[in-house]
Amino acid sequence: MEVRFLVPANMQEEAALYLTEFSGRGVILEDREEGGVLIRAFFPAEEFGTWQRQELQTYLDRLLGHGLYPVGLEIRPAAAEDWAVAWKEHFKPLKVTPRLAIRPPWEEYEPASGETVITIYPGMAFGTGRHPSTVLCLEALEALLEEGTLPPGTGQYQVLDVGTGSGILALAAARRGYRVWAIDVDPEAVAAALENVRLNALEELIWVDDTPLSLLRHQFPLILANLTAQDLLQHAESLAARLLSGGTLIVSGFLTEDLPALLRRFLSLGLTEGPRKVREDWVALSLRRP
* CATH label of the domain that carries residue 40: 3.30.70.600
Q: Residue 126: is its pLDDT beyond 70? A: no
3-state secondary structure (DSSP) of residue 41? strand
State how far the Cα of 153 lies from the Cα of 137, in Å rounded to an integer.
21
Q: Are residues 137 and 83 in the same domain?
A: no
Please report whether residue 160 resides in a domain.
yes
In the predicted model, is pLDDT for residue 124 greater than 60? Answer: no
- pTM score, whole prediction: 0.78
On whether the CB atoms of residues 120 and 168 are closer than 8 A, the answer is yes
Within a domain: 115: no
More confident residue, 79 or 23: 23
Same domain, 170 and 271: yes
What percentage of residues in the chain have a pLDDT greater than 90? 62
For the chain, give the mean pLDDT.
90
Residue 23 sits in which domain range? 2-90
Q: Is 145 in the same domain as 284?
A: yes
pLDDT at 52 over 90: yes
Is the CB of residue 37 less than 8 Å from the CB of residue 30? Answer: yes
Higher pLDDT among residues 32 and 179, named by residue: 179
| CATH number of the domain bearing residue 152 | 3.40.50.150
pLDDT, average across residues 271-275:
96
Residues with Cβ within 8 Å of residue 178, at least 6 apart in sequence: 158, 159, 205, 222
Backbone angles phi, psi at 244, to 5 degrees: -70, 155
- Whether the upstream peptide bond of residue 212 has omega within 30° of 0, thus cis, is no
DSSP one-letter code for 205:
T
- Under a CB-based contact definition with an 8 Å cutoff, are residues 194 and 120 in contact? no
Please check whether residues 126 and 80 belong to one and the same domain: no
Span of 9-23, 218-232, 267-281 with lowest mean pLDDT: 9-23
pLDDT band at residue 97 under the 50/70/90 scheme: very high
- pLDDT score, position 204: 95
Q: CA-CA distances (angstroms) from residue 285 to 49, 52, 82, 131, 184?
A: 44, 39, 40, 16, 21
In the predicted structure, residue 249 carries a pLDDT above the cut 70: yes
Q: Report if residue 98 sits inside a domain.
A: no
What φ, ψ does residue 52 adopt, rounded to 5°? Answer: -65, -40
Per-residue pLDDT, 20:
83
Decide if pLDDT at 111 tops 60: yes
pLDDT band for position 140 (50/70/90)? very high
Domain contains 74: yes
pLDDT at 13: 82
**Do residues 156 and 225 share a domain?**
yes
Question: Is residue 283 domain-resident?
Answer: yes
Same domain for 258 and 135? yes
Q: Calculate mean pLDDT across residues 83-98.
A: 78
73 and 170 belong to one structural domain: no
What tens digit of pLDDT does each residue of 170-207 get? Answer: 999 999 999 999 999 999 899 999 999 999 999 999 99
State residue 84's pLDDT score: 63
Q: Is residue 125 pLDDT above 60, yes or no?
A: no
Residue 168 resides in a domain? yes
- Domain boundary residue, one of 68, 90, 112: 90
Cα-to-chain-centroid distance, residue 279: 14
- Is the same domain home to 153 and 27? no
Residues 125, 75 within the same domain: no
Instruction: Answer yes or no: do 150 and 271 share one domain.
Output: yes
Residue 232 covered by a domain:
yes
Residues 83 and 131 in one domain: no
pLDDT confidence of residue 128? 76
Q: Mark whether 173 and 267 lie in a shared domain.
A: yes
207 within a domain of the structure (yes/no): yes
140 phi, psi to nearest 5 deg: -65, -40
What's the structural domain count of the chain? 2
pLDDT (0 to 100) of residue 137: 96
**3-state DSSP call for residue 240?**
helix
Q: Which one of 37, 69, 90 terminates a domain?
A: 90
Beta strands in 115-232 (DSSP E): 116-119, 159-162, 180-183, 206-209, 220-226
